[in-house]
Amino acid sequence: MAHAEESAEEPWHTLHANQVLSRLDTGWEGLTEEEATLRLRRFGPNGVPTEEKARPATILVRQVKSPLVYILLAASAAALALQKYVDASVILVVVVLNSVVGFVQEFKAEQAMKALAESLAPRARVLRDGVERGIDARLVAPGDLVLLESGVRVPADLRLLRAFDLQIDESILTGESVPVVKHPQAMHDPSAPLADRINMVFSGTSVVRGRGAGVVVATGLQTAFGQISAQVRLAGEVESPLQLRLSRFARLIAGLVLAVTILVFGLGLGIGVSLPDILLTAVATAVATVPEGLPVTITVALAVGVWRMARRKAIIRKLPAVETLGSCTVICSDKTGTLTKNEMTVTSIHAGGRLYRVTGSGYAPVGEILADQEKVQLKEHPELELTLRIGMLANESSLYLEDGD
């Protein structure tokens, strides 16, 4: 994952379009397929490293990484050493049950996340050999000419070559909620901050309005978003409030068990009880103090929350994450469909004083226009035909079949 070389004296935003193309050894018709393949081998795929998929053994080990579970295992070992096999077995059953419930849930979530990531692989429209093509965004290489239109996500860092009423949502990168108007003219300030480079568009941002075209100057970890992602990965994982409270509670229980055990042992020695009986009593007291049912109770409660979310088509990857949603008091959401599925379907048309019903949904080119439950012939409805023609001319989308469709 790399980017094309950029000199410190001449950043991309200070160069004119032809200078950018010359430095990247590309042209207005984009790269050839052969050159794009060579650059992909040189720079690597256009993407940031994702979190390594957890193996089943890793998920299983994660279930017992809890202070409460450690206490239960210690109590079970102590009971086993004193030949209290029933007590030891009960505690181990609790630990196993807790681990199995957590393992099953996290393993299923991992598989679902993997399938979802594969189904939502980002795409990009590029010019290759002068021909417009839709490709996997990971196959975009430095020097590729990328086409932009409203609604698409920018696949890499681009230096704009053309722009028509182009506005980009850069909130994911700069935090600015207002879309930024872009233009392709070269800038004079080489030290302009990222948010002010209005002839650049950055990976991960979205096109709100208009059209444009830009040449790829950075991919993968060398993009602005990729560098932020690399820094975030260094931060490591943070425990949830529930996990922190359980850790504090486990330390409290451990201290209480230790104090009770020492107290019982001391009292036993004081009244002359034999050493084996003292040890047996102390261990029994310690085992009784440990809340064996707490870990499995918490796990089952979280699992129930996960299952309820799953029935509503929401994937929870790790059990403690349910607590985040449970702690919410206000949820703000946008209208369904446009954001959640990236689809908006026309269901009715009013033209010429008449209402028409439209069937079909989503991206599938299947459906009919009905008037009084009968299929419409456009030649017999000139107002409807004019409305559809206006909609087509004002629309920036295109419909085409790809290999395998």
Catalytic residue chosen out of the listed positions 144, 334, 403, 405? 334
CA dihedral 61, 63, 67, 68 (to 10 degrees): -140
Q: Is 5 helix (H, G, I), strand (E, B) or coil?
A: coil
334 is catalytic: yes
Packing angle, helices 67-81 and 241-270, rounded to 10: 30
Given the structure tokens 């003292």, which residue do they identify?
A: 278
Largest CA distance in the chain: 108
C-alpha to C-alpha distance for 68 and 61, rounded to whole angstroms = 14
Query: Bridge partners of 31?
Result: 128
Closest by alpha carbon to 194, among 212, 215, 218, 213? 218
**By C-alpha distance, which of 49, 13, 36, 6 is closest to 220?**
49
Neighbours of 27 (CB within 10 A): 16
**Which residues have a catalytic role annotated?**
334
